[in-house]
Amino acid sequence: MSMTVADVTYERLAKTIDHSLLRPELTLTEVREGCELAARYDVASACVRPADVVFAADVLTGSSVAVGTVVGFPHGSHSTATKVFEAERALDDGATELDMVINIGWLRSGEDARVGEDIAAVVKAAGDHAIVKVILENAYLNDDEKVRGCRLAESAGAHYVKTSTGFAPGGATHEDLKLMRETVSSAMKVKAAGGVRTLDALLEVMDIGVDRVGATQTAAILDDYRSRTSK
C-alpha cells in the first residue's frame, strides 16, 4: 500500500525537505525570502549557493533549519583540491550540509578509484562538522554507472547519495531511486532532486525509501499537507 498523508506527521514531512535556492539569477532579497520561508515551514535545510552561506546562516540563526550548500556544482569537474577548499570554506561560513557533485566524466571513464578519492577528500574535509550528500547526476549515467557511483559514495564515507543537481536534462525517477535504495546499505540515505513538486510526488518517493528531497515548491507541498489534514 502506498504512503498517504495519514502515514506521516507534518514534522517528518517538513524535515524531509531541503529548500533549494540555487538558481544563478536569484537576488539576495529572494535568497532572504527563501531562507525565511524555510524557517517558517521548519524544513530540514535551506540549500544555498556557496557565496550566500554567510548570509543564509545569519538569516537562519535561531531556527532549527540547517544551512546547506553545494560543492563542485553543477558539473562536478572541479579539481579535488578545489572541492576540498569549497567544502572547508563552506564550513567556515556556517554550512553544516554539503551536496557535492562527483566527477561524472571520471566515473563514465571507469576511473572509479579517482572518483572515490575525490569523494573521500570532501568527506574528510567535512569531518564531524557536516553531512555529505553525493550527487551522481543520473541523467548522464547508465545503471551500472549509477550502481558504481552509489557504492563509491558509501565506501568513501558519505552520508547520502543524491540523484541530480536539477540542472541536467533529467531529475529523480522512481526507477533510479529504487536502484539507489537497493544498492546502498540501510545506513546510507537517499536524496531525490529534480521533479518532486507536489505532496503526492513527495509521498511517492518517501514510500520508495527516500530520506530527503530537494524542492522549490516547499510552500505548496506543505500547505497541501495542512489542508488535507486539517480537521
Give the residue numbers marked as catalytic. 99, 162, 191
| Cα(68)–Cα(83) distance, integer angstroms | 15
Grid cell 558539473 in the structure block, residue: 75
For residues 28 and 51, the answer to whether their CB atoms sit within 8 Å is: no
Q: Which residues of 11-50 are buried (b: 16+ CB within 10 A; e: fewer)?
A: eebbbbbbbbbbeeebeeeebbebbebbbebebbbbbbbb
Bridge partners of 133? 99, 160
